[in-house]
Amino acid sequence: MPGFLLHFGATVICAHGGQAMPSVPNPRVLVSGQPIVTQTSPYFVAGCAFVPPAGNGPCLTGQFVTGALRVLAEGVPVLLQDSQSICAPTGTPLSVLLTQLRVKGT
């Protein structure tokens, strides 16, 4: 499915409301003046409100497991608004709330 490309300024949160930011955006490709994010870039999560009774902790990192099929940056799939992800150690997904609205990929 086509979707908008994720960039450094996109609003991404964990399932518990923590703010997620990419650790390594791609500086060579810009959309809306900001670097895009590729599938290999891990996300760091801050402010996760999950306090589990089992003790596995709140969301600390997130990794996207799917990306664009036809759009690559330096040989790596770029992330799209509908890309799938997983957080560690909770196993919950990241959610993309807001991204740029100019460039789509598939």
3-state secondary structure 20-41: EEECCCEEEEEECCEEECECCC
Give, for all 106 residues of the chain, the pLDDT tens digit. 689 999 999 999 999 999 999 999 999 999 999 999 999 999 999 999 998 777 678 999 999 999 999 999 999 999 999 999 999 999 999 999 999 999 999 9
Boundaries of domain holding 35 = 3-105
Cα separation values, 20 from 12, 71, 73, 102, Å: 5, 23, 21, 22
For residue 75, give the CATH number of its domain. 2.60.200
What gap in Å lies between CA 9 and CA 23, rounded to an integer? 12
Domains held by the chain: number: 1
Whether pTM > 0.85 for this model: the answer is: yes
Question: Are 89 and 57 spatial neighbours (Cβ–Cβ below 8 Å)?
Answer: yes
